[in-house]
Every structure is written in C-alpha cells, then in structure tokens.
Amino acid sequence: MKDLFTNYAANQTNQKWNNMIKREIPLYARNNDIRTEFGRDYTRIIHSGAYRRLKHKTQVFFSPNNDHICTRIEHVTHVESISYTIAQYLGLNSELTKAIASAHDLGHSPFGHVGEKILSNIAKQDIEESFWHERNGLELVDCIELLEDNNKYKQNLNLTYAVRDGIISHCGEVSENSLKPRDEFIDLYNYTYPNQYSPYTWEACIVKIADKISYLGRDIEDAITLGILDEHLNELYDLLGCNYDEEKINNTIIINNLIKDLCDNSSPEKGLCFSDKAFELINQINKFNYKNIYCCKRIMPSNRYFEVVLNEIYSLLKSTFNGIDTFSNIENMERTYPKLCKTFLEFLSNYYDFGNREDLKLKNKILFDKDSSTDFYKAVLYFISGMTDNFAIEIYNEIIGF
C-alpha cells in the first residue's frame, strides 16, 4: 500500500535518527551547503575514484568490448533505480536508498565474484581473514578512498552510519521471505561474515532486496544476448510462465512484476516481503541462473585466467616485503615493472607514515606499520581489489612481457 511505511522513514522524527546520521568524526562544512546529510554522502560517493572505476569492473560476464553487457556501474545504477521506486512508493527516504545503492558495491574486486573468491583464498592464506566485498566496501569508504576537502587536504569519505551500515548489510542473498531492520546500534566491524545482521534501516533493507531484483533479470538478459541460454530457453519460458512463440523475456518485465509484488505484500508488521508465488519464482530463477549461467562451461576459461592474473600480481608484490627495505625493493623493480611499481608506491604513500603527510596534504587515517608483513599483505589486497578488470590485465601483461 502506498506510503504505508512513512512513519518509519529515515528522518528527524525517527528515534534512530541521531545514530543514522552519526559520522566517525565531524565532517567539514561550508556556509552555503544546501545538501542533507545523506545528500552529502551521495555526492561524496559519486565523486570518488572507486565509484568511477565500477564502469570497468565485471558484473557477471567479462566482456570489455561489448557496450551492451552489464558492468558493475550499470548494476549499481539499476539497484539505485529499483530502490528509489520502492522507497518512494512505500514512503521511505529515497535519498538514503540512493546513497546506499550507489556505494553498495564499491568493495568489489576486478572480475566480479570470481575475483572476490580468488582474493579471499589469498587472504585466508596470508592474513588469516576472508575477503568479502561487503566488508571490503566498508573498509574502503572508512579508510581507503580519499577526497580533497575545501582546503585541498585528502580525507576519508567519512559517511554516515546509515550508509555505512547499508554497504556492509547489503548481501543480496535473501533466504527468508520477510526482511525487517534490526534495532541494535552496533559497531559495524562486529560483522564477521556476510548477512550476519539485518540492516539498521528500512531503506537499507530495500537496497538489499533491490540488489536481488536487479541482478536476477539482467543476468538472464545478458546471457540471452550472448547466446549462453540458447539451449535452455524453453525451460526458462516454462519457469516464467511465458509462451515461447508469443512473448519476449526482458529485464523490464521481471523487475516491474517483482517490484509491484513486493509493494503489494509488504507492511511494517510483516516486513518487506513478496507473495509466496513470487518468492518461489525468485528462488527458482536463482537456481536456474546458477545452473545455466554462473556455472556454465562458457565462462570457465575466463575464470581460470582471472586466477592466474590476480595471483601473479599478488605474488610479485608480496615478494617485495622486507621490513624497512620493502619500499626500496619496489623502487628497484620500477625499471622492469614501471606502471605497477609507480601506482603501488603512490597508493602506499597515502596510508604509511613516511613523515611527509603535510607535504602530501593528507588528513586520512594511517593504516599500516612498515615493519608488519600482515599490514603489507593487506595493503596489497586493498590495492588489487581497487583495480579495474582492464588495469589488472594491463599489469599482468607488464609482468609477463619483456
């Protein structure tokens, strides 16, 4: 029902409001700024380098030369659109959903979920942690990504709690047909695995569901475009209840039907939920996609290639660690690997204390100790996770080339 959630929206009448807009440190202000707190978050996100790089990161299909195959930035835009539509209809804060949706995948590695698994295997081996993009996204907006302030000092994004919570809480797997926000105002670094807690706001719950709605239909559309589902179209049409000869499957129809169903069946008492029929269809589409798209033979060669690319980059950078001599080792390799070493040293200079932070106009957090191998390996993982697909391949080619 329209505006059914108005009394629960993220605004000043909400008892959670002060927690929602809390930042780790006060954000610098301008006398003529007309934006809201979530509006400031949104513009900080879309002006960040991490957001810009999403346009060259794989969503599902590695297809850098096909302009019509979904990339990570398009997926983010789809999630923003879907969550905006739902929030507007239900009477929730669409400005907050826009900020969360725009930032929710900033922590993704190159090469999509395959790249995420590769980096996670490395992380488990060398720093005894898992790498997962929701947690990496939180760490990125809190610690890694930098913006210049009005005095040209580089600072961390320093987003509101509600947006940061939406990033780490957005895991798209919705296993139960009811989603409600949690009441507890927790330290977000208490998260130890994806989907551990419900989001803190109804708006973040919407983004979590919009993420699912977005990728299910678009992945099918892309797979049809690439010919991957040619042998499975009858099965797909039967699943969706379509007539193969008369109807077309497209993402717009799937999205519209699921949005309408969610809005018709949700309430503050029941939570955000679909009808039983729609929820069963979502589960069936998910199973179909895993079987025929995500695990299809066509994408396996590229997955093996991605593993070689990321492991070679990581291994080379890891080999340079030698305590205080590490940075000299990297500089000495610059003649052989100029682009890799130059960009990596520039990256490291932002997060180690070399005694020249004022010269570099840095006011962000110092993250790493020069003597710690664990810190260095984590820095390498952060560096690689921020790469685009194209840049990772370019660096790999530099490593293997002569």
DSSP letter for each residue of 288-338: HHIIIIIT-GGGHHHHHHHHHHHHHHHHHHHTT-BTBTHHHHHHHTTTTSH
Residue 247 confidence (pLDDT) above 80 = no
The pLDDT-based confidence of 243 (bands split at 50, 70, 90) is low
Q: For a pLDDT cut of 70, what percent of the chain falls above it?
A: 96
Span 146-199, pLDDT tens digits: 999 888 999 999 999 999 999 999 986 666 688 999 999 999 999 999 999 999
Mean pLDDT of 383-400: 97
Mean pLDDT of 64-76: 88
Question: Hey, how many other C-beta atoms are within 10 angstroms of the C-beta on 247?
Answer: 12
Domains and CATH numbers, the chain: 6-106+145-295 (1.10.3210.10), 299-400 (no CATH)
Span 288-346, pLDDT tens digits: 999 999 989 999 999 999 999 999 999 999 999 998 899 999 999 999 999 999 999 99
pLDDT for the residue 66: 83
Place of tokens 């999509």: 112
The pLDDT-based confidence of 250 (bands split at 50, 70, 90) is low
pLDDT for the residue 201: 98
CB 97 within 8 A of CB 169: no
Torsion of CA 321, 324, 329, 331, to 10 degrees: 130
pLDDT for the residue 241: 74
pLDDT for the residue 175: 64
Residue 30 confidence (pLDDT) above 90 = no
> Can you tell me whether residue 111 is helix, strand or coil?
coil
pLDDT for the residue 242: 66
Residue 65 confidence (pLDDT) above 90 = no
Residue 392 confidence (pLDDT) above 80 = yes
pLDDT for the residue 246: 47
CB 226 within 8 A of CB 299: no
Q: Of 24, 47, 28, which Cα lies nearest the Cα of 146?
A: 47
Measured distance CA(8)–CA(246) in Å, rounded: 43
Which residues is 192 bridged to in the sheet?
A: none
Report the amino acid identity of residue 372: S
pLDDT for the residue 132: 96
Residue 42 confidence (pLDDT) above 70 = yes
Span 108-146, pLDDT tens digits: 999 999 999 999 999 999 999 999 999 999 999 999 999
pLDDT for the residue 33: 80
Q: What's the whole-number average pLDDT of the chain?
A: 93
